[in-house]
Structure 1
Amino acid sequence: MHYGLDIGGTKIALAIFDDELQCRDRWQLATPVDDYEAFLTTVCGQIALADERCRDLASEQAQAEEHEQEQQQAMASVGIALPGVIQTDGTVLSSNVPCLNRRRVAEDLGARLGRKVATGNDCRCFTLSEALLGAGRDKRHVVGVILGTGLGGGLCIDGRLFNGANCLAGEFGHQGLAASVLLDHGLPLYDCGCGLRGCAENYVSGTGLGRLYRHFGGEADTYQWLAAYREGEASARRAFDAYMDALGSVLAGQILALDPDIFVFGGGLSQVPEIMEALPVATQKHLFAGVSLPEFRVAEFGAASGVRGAALLGRNQLLNESLLLNESRISKSNGPNSQASDAVNPPSKRSIANGSS
């Protein structure tokens, strides 16, 4: 079995997947956001609960198949999707769960659980899930985009998650918004929580859309904006035009930098039909003549992509460790001059089903 946990600013979602990545059970609970000790205790408690539920599932299956249950179950893998930047040494930065900042979550949880824990950025986990199993599964170059409270995403190439030298690949929410968009719509430079000014996230996220609505005279947040827009309110229409122009410029920048086959969208705003329908035209506006657009698709797994991607991280860590162990055993059995080489017998990208760069 493989456990996937998606840590959010308000709730923790946990799911149990079998070896075919089919969900066998899932639940959620509140996130302890200010107390790191409480966070660790909560997560460890939920892993223990998942172990118990796995034993129950195994018992039910054994009874259905009318044979004895194996006395010892293999230890399930654990993968966790975290908000924020996860540095190469495992330290979490810029998380909207305050108690996680400057902590090595995977190391601390692994020590308590007595098993390896794989962690990844939540947007990258979303991208991995959709690239391997969802809307992007038949594409080589997949960019995931989360249009939620914040803005971020990830890149998968040939089924492998690309993290970059400092695990920053996909943090395009903190790229500066195009000057042409700011000028055309008379928008100010908003300060960002990251310490920069004018970050795209402050205009293109759900929070940013509410900010734009208020800038143009609206008196409510993003939720009220949609109703006002559909009723034809002028300030809501102006906010929509500015939002689409900003989002189009961000996506055009990713096309010119990464040239993906497909964008896969998640987050609450991806569920607004008017936004998704306007995206191609809004993006093409910021590209020079002759540039073809990639596909634009909404995530197949929706909100479940985070836990599924986290489970993939955990599963693939387990697979990679098994591969290294087998190579070591082969090397020892063949003598000191023998080498196991991927060039001789390269693993397929889908059989390993992720890896990261």
Structure 2
Amino acid sequence: MTEAPISAGIDLGGTKIEAQVFGPDWQLAARHRWPTPKDYAGLLAAMAGAIRWCDAQAPGLPIGISAAGLVNPATGLALTSNLPATGKPFPADLAAAAGRPVAWINDCRALTLSEARLGAARDADPAVGLILGTGVAGGVVTGGRLLPSPAATGGEFGHFPLAAGPVVAHHLPLLRCGCGREGCAETYLSAPGLSRIAAHLTGQDLAPETIVAGRAATPAFALAWEIWLDLATEFLLTLCLTLDPQVIVLGGGLSRAPGLTDDLTRRLSAATLRGFPIPAIRLAQGGDASGARGAALHALTGAGQETAHA
């Protein structure tokens, strides 16, 4: 007889909602997808339906929800760039619509937890996850749990200030970030940030994939990549000197650039305090499962700061 599921996670993205149910060994027992509605009422209805689907697989399962953005613990209001929920009490409204408690976790924190417990940083302590995609963010796991975050902003690494050295050396302009500040690391370290570096050099609007693929043949693309690596190295050094992680796990679109972990390992070794070790830099292993699996882990093992109840 198949063993009963132990937890479920729902990964809420800008285009799709994916629910996954997990068995005792964290094997995938069931999954289902729905398109993400573009209006708030539709989003609530779709997510409540996803929760009911999880309950139908095994009533009373802990259910976690992984989503981009933040929920302000002081107000309960959501802040997100890819969902029609900013300024809404999304967790509370959803818990009421579903008629049951739900555990909320930022998608980057979900990936970090998934990789620290079951993936590329398994048994590492501390483990840092870093997503290099449309934005830049991550999380910190120690003792198998996410580092407590009373304001829910722990892991928003993309809003560190850029290191001055590479900015000055490469004559980069400070850009306004989506958060409203100028000079956030995300403005150049994200995938769109690599395109901004190339545009600064060439005046052309180029996709990050084009820059990465053409590095070996096009000097301007190679220089854009070198500048990006300079900025990324200083960024990682800040993480290392602050958190001293045993492993840094990379995810997101830019993490798939060939040779990235080797490039960063070599540069970080040269940049750190002389003679001191650096963390292992690894690629995330969970793929599309990381968000839902991390949310399910979060729900099962203690939701901590990001739990909302009906």
If the length of structure 1 is used for normalisation, what is the TM-score? 0.79
Q: Distance in 1 between matches of 2:77 and 2:156?
A: 14
Q: Where do 1:266-277 residues align within 5 Å?
A: 266-277=251-262
Paired with 1:49 and 1:74, the residues of 2 have a C-alpha distance of: 10
| Correspondence list, 1:181-196, <5 A | 181-196=166-181
Q: Which residue identity lines up with residue 176 of structure 2 in the other structure?
A: D
CA distance in 2, matches of 1:206, 1:163: 28
Q: Partners of 1:142 and 1:181 in 2: how far apart?
A: 26
Contact kept in structure 2, 1:185 and 1:242, CA below 8 Å: yes
Aligned-pair CA distance for 1:221: 1.2
Q: Distance in 1 between matches of 2:232 and 2:149?
A: 24
Q: Measure, in 2, the Cα distance between the counterparts of 1:109 and 1:82.
A: 13
- Match of residue 48, structure 1, among 42, 48, 52: 52
Partner of 1:169: 154
How big is the shift at 1:285? Answer: 4.1
- Measured at CA, do residues 215 and 125 of structure 1 come closer, stay the same or move farther in structure 2, by a change above 3 Å? same
Q: How much does 1:226 deviate?
A: 2.2
Distance 1:98 1:46, change over 3 A: closer
Q: Does 1:77 align with 2:62?
A: yes
Instruction: Name 1:291's counterpart in structure 2.
Output: 276
Tell me by how many angstroms 1:51 deviates.
Answer: 3.7
Higher helix share: 1
Q: Give the letter aligned to residue 98 of structure 2.
A: L
Q: Which range moved further: 4-13 or 233-242? A: 4-13
CA distance in 2, matches of 1:355, 1:219: 43
Cα distance in structure 1, aligned partners of 2:88 and 2:28: 30
Work out which of the residue numbers 7, 15, 25 in structure 1 matches 2:12: 7
Counterpart-to-counterpart distance in 2, 1:298 and 1:160: 20
1:227-268 deviation digits (Å, cap 9, x = unpaired): 2224x2011111100111111111100000011111011111
1:16–1:136 distance in 2 versus 1, CA, 3 Å: same
Give the secondary structure class of the aligned counterpart of 1:38: helix
Alpha-carbon distance in structure 2 between the residues aligned to 1:49 and 1:355: 25
> For residue 225 of structure 1, what is the aligned residue in structure 2?
211
SS in 2 for 1:257: helix
Tell me the equivalent position of 1:237: 222
When the two structures are superposed, what TM-score results if normalisation uses the length of structure 2? 0.90
Give the Cα–Cα distance (whole angstroms) in 1 for the partners of residues 189 and 255 of structure 2: 12
Cα contact 1:209–1:243 (8 A) shared by 2: yes
Q: Does 1:156 align with 2:141?
A: yes
Larger Cα Rg: Structure 1 or Structure 2? 1
Counterpart pick for 1:18 among 17, 23, 33: 23
Cα distance in 2 for partners of 1:36, 1:270 equals 32
Q: Deviations over 1:195-232 (max 9, x none)?
A: 000100111111111111222114421122122224x2
Q: Which amino acid aligns with 2:191?
A: G
Verify: 1:108 aligned to 2:108, yes or no: no
AA aligned to 1:244 is L
Q: What are the superposed Cα offsets for residues 152-171 of structure 1, whole Å, 9 maximum, x if unpaired?
A: 00001111111323121111
Query: What code does the residue aligned with 1:115 have?
Result: R
Structure 2: where are the runs of 5+ without partners?
A: none
Structure 1 unpaired stretches of 5+:
55-72, 318-353
| Cα separation, partners in 2 of 1:90 and 1:284, compared to 1, 3 Å | farther
Which one of the candidate residues 83, 86, 102 is aligned to 1:117? 102
Deviation, structure 1 residue 92: 4.5
Residues 1:284 and 1:184: Cα distance change in structure 2 (over 3 Å):
farther
2:102 & 2:222 partners in 1: Cα distance?
Answer: 46
Asked if 1:215 corresponds to 2:219, the answer is: no
Q: Do the aligned partners of 2:133 and 2:252 also contact (CA within 8 Å) in 1?
A: yes
Q: Does 1:86 align with 2:91?
A: no
Letter in 2 for 1:220: L
Cα distance in 1 for partners of 2:248, 2:288 equals 16
Following TM superposition, by how much is the alpha carbon of 1:94 offset from its aligned partner in structure 2, in angstroms? 3.6
Q: Which has the higher contact order (CA 8 A, sep 6+)?
A: 2
Q: How far did 1:116 drift?
A: 1.0
Q: Find 1:263's aligned residue among 225, 229, 248.
A: 248
Q: Deviation of residue 125 (structure 1)?
A: 0.8
How has the CA–CA distance of structure 1 residues 287 and 94 changed in structure 2, closer, same or farther, with 3 Å as cutoff?
Answer: farther
Task: Provide Cα deviations, 1:164-186, integer angstroms capped at 9, x if missing partner.
Answer: 23121111100110010101111
Kept in 1: contact 2:78–2:89 (CA 8 A): no
Which deviations, in whole Å up to 9, do the C-alpha atoms of 1:67-114 show, x marking residues without a partner?
xxxxxx532221001211222247344411342212232221111112
Query: 1:94·1:194 contact (CA, 8 Å) conserved in 2?
Result: no
Q: Percent identity?
A: 37
Q: How many residues align?
A: 300
Distance 1:28 1:170, change over 3 A: same
- Aligned amino acid, residue 50 of structure 2: Q
